[in-house]
Structure 1
Amino acid sequence: MFQGIVSGLASGGAFAALGLLLTVMYRLTATVNLAMGATGAFGVYVMAALVENGWGYGAAAVAGVAAGALASVVCCLIITRWFTESGPQSRTAVSIAQLIGLLGLAYICFGDRPRNLPNPAPGEVGTIAGVVITYGTLVLIALALLIGLGTYLVLTRTALGLRLRAMAERPVTTELLGIGTVALTLAVWAIAGALTTLILLLVAPVRSGDILSLTLLIVPACAAALVGRLRWLGGSLLGGLCIGLLEGLMTNVSWIREFRDVLPFVAILLILVWSQRGEVWDAAR
């Protein structure tokens, strides 16, 4: 049992980091950016294609991160150009369409052949309960903590954070006061795309390396973000780590191993049902 929990640390760190990015995006842009996983997967495959064509890993990784950021900016331009006045539900629906479009584009550009992706952090830190802890695992957990703590400090302790919160809560008023909301919004989406690509670059070598599997990592990220109700950064962090640990635990139990991929969907369903319990009980009374 303990071995399963330890083996889920890497996945938990990735889910937590992606869940935090979803939470930050929702707080700052009122959009549950479900296309985020597709932008990251696109960046990863740009890196893989460049490595196959003789590029060094460092230069290819930088280009892949830039491609992920650019794809995210294109998604942002579509939403800000045609859906500025739409509500969060409409923006989220648009992000689903963008996810499908990016997934199709990735298949056209790179095919459906899974890649053997190089591991940027393959070294071993040590062994716990017979499970090897790699530098990649520690980097993912550290990245999740950095995203959470960094976002909290920026939003609460800096003038930039004040502008970002004003942009999220009163975009029209912020624009009338002379604060460029378009540039800030583009910057938020670009950073989210770049960080998502970086996270997937660390995750892809130890999970399935095909485009669809990398894109669907957005599902456990959604479950993590919902634990924090898309508002509480600490809840998203804990939710992602717990889902990863549970997934690792299920992997080591033979009779439920094949159902581990269903865990994020079950978590999302239970969280949504629990969040609506008040309305259901009031209606019953």
Structure 2
Amino acid sequence: MLDILASGLVIGAAYASLGLCITLLSRMGGVVNFAQTAIGLLGSYLFLVLSDTPLPLWLAALAGIICSALVGAFSGAIMSRWFHDADVGTRSSVAIAMMIGYLSIGTRLFGDSPRQAPDLFDSLGLSLGAVNISGGLVVSLIVSILMAAGLHYYINNTHTGTRLQAFAAKSVTAELIGIPSDRLTIMIWSLAGAMSALALLIIMTSSARNANYASLSLLIIPALCTALIGSFHGFYLTLSGGLLLGILEAATLSSPTTAPYAQTIYLPVIVLILLWTKRKDKWDGQRA
């Protein structure tokens, strides 16, 4: 039981970290960013390339995070320059186009053959009875919790966070009262890009050390599911949803009977969440 919990938490913490990036942009940028994983992959794969050079690993990781931050800033500049007054549907459609473009560029640059990632966190592992807890689990849990707490505090307790919420709610009004929408949009996209690269670096150097580019790009599905659990708004709910989703997936993988269906658990979760969130509308319609 403890081994299922441990493996589920390391997966769930990764899902939560990516879901937090999507929640951040949904809440502050007014967009469901389908390109989030694709942006993070560009930086994390740059880290893999640099890790095969004499460059220190920490410097290679920093370069990868900066790369995704720059790609995120570029994406934010596009969104701010041409789509700042568009509705959520249009912005999200642009994000889908970005996802396709970045995945095509990444596959062209890095190929789709599995790459061996270095283990950065092996020395941080713990033993709990007969269960060995990997260093990746420890780091991913700490990072995801710090992300959720830091974003919650930043958005709700800082002047910049207040301005970001104003811009997300009423972009035109925010511009009229002097809030620098372009700069804030680029900043928040850049932050989300750096966070997604960090999350993927942890995944690739702990639990998915031989994964290829295509399989890692599919992490956008559980990340979106995790953000949906938080209604694309609550950081702590997104964190909890990611951890629960990881545990559910690990429990499914633990049985030979259900293991082949582990990657399909997101569909019933999404359906149940949508039914639950829309229940009030349905009940109101029936009463009317």
Above 0.5 in TM-score?
Answer: yes
**8 Å Cα contact 2:125/2:136 also seen in 1:** no
The partner residue of 1:245 within 244, 247, 250 is 247
Question: What are the equivalent positions in structure 2 for 1:182-221 lying under 5 Å apart?
Answer: 182-205=182-205, 206-207=207-208, 208-221=210-223
Q: Which residue of 2 aligns with 1:18?
A: 18
Percent of residue pairs identical: 34
Tell me the distance in 2 between the aligned counterparts of 1:93 and 1:133.
40
Q: Which amino acid aligns with 2:275?
A: V
1:74 aligned partner, one-letter code: F
Alpha-carbon contact 1:155-1:162 (below 8 Å) kept: yes
Q: Does residue 133 in structure 1 map to residue 133 in structure 2?
A: yes
1:100 & 1:158 partners in 2: Cα distance? 35
User: Shift of residue 53 of structure 1?
Assistant: 3.7
Note the C-alpha offset of 1:44: 1.0
**Tell me, what secondary structure is at the counterpart of 1:254?**
coil
Q: Aligned partner of 1:182: which letter?
A: D
The one-letter code matched in structure 1 to 2:5 is I
Structure 1 residues 87-236: aligned runs within 5 Å: 87-128=87-128, 130-205=130-205, 206-207=207-208, 208-236=210-238
3-state SS of paired residue (2:269): helix
Paired residue secondary structure (1:123): helix
Q: Distance in 2 between matches of 1:173 and 1:282?
A: 33
Deviation at 1:21, TM superposition (A): 1.7
What TM-score do the two structures reach when normalised by structure 1? 0.93
The corresponding residue for 1:255 is 257
Partner SS for 1:255: coil
How far off is 1:64 after superposition?
0.7
| Contact residue 2 and residue 129 of structure 1 kept, 8 A | no
1:8 corresponds to which letter in structure 2?
A: G
Moved over 4 A (4+): 280-285
- What letter corresponds to residue 105 of structure 2 in structure 1? L
Once the two structures are TM-superposed, the CA of residue 283 in structure 1 deviates from its matched residue by 5.3
Q: Counterparts of 1:99 and 1:195 in 2: how far apart (Å)?
A: 17
TM-superposed CA distance for 1:131, in Å, is 3.1
Which stretch of the first structure deviates more once superposed, 109-118 or 172-181? 172-181
Q: Structure 2: how far apart are the matches of 1:67 and 1:115?
A: 19
Which shifted more, 167-176 or 31-40?
167-176
Structure 1 CA distance for aligned equivalents of residues 132 and 203 of structure 2: 15
Match of 2:7 in 1: 7
Kept in 1: contact 2:77–2:182 (CA 8 A): no
How far, CA to CA, are the matches of 1:103 and 1:201 in structure 2? 17
CA distance in 1, matches of 2:103, 2:243: 27
Tell me the alpha carbon deviations over residues 127-184 of structure 1, each in whole angstroms, 9 at most, x when there is no partner: 3363321222111111111111111212222212221222212222222222211111
Deviations 1:264-284 (A, max 9, x none): 233223222332334445556
Match of 1:35 in 2: 35
Count of residues paired in the alignment: 285
Q: Say if 1:35 and 1:96, in contact at 8 Å, map to a contact too.
A: yes
Q: Secondary structure at the match of 1:127?
A: strand
Q: Which amino acid aligns with 1:219?
A: I
Does the aligned pair in 2 maintain the 1:9–1:137 contact within 8 Å? Answer: yes
User: Shift of residue 90 of structure 1?
Assistant: 1.4
d(CA) in 2 for partners of 1:174, 1:272: 31
Contact 2:33 2:95 in 1 (8 A): yes
SS at match of 2:258: helix
- Give the CA deviation at 1:6: 2.1
Deviation, structure 1 residue 101: 0.9
Distance 1:112 1:127, change over 3 A: same
- The AA in structure 2 aligned to 1:228 is G
**Distance in 2 separating the partners of 1:272 and 1:50:** 42
Unaligned runs of at least 5 residues, structure 2: none
Q: Which runs of 5+ in 1 are unaligned?
A: none
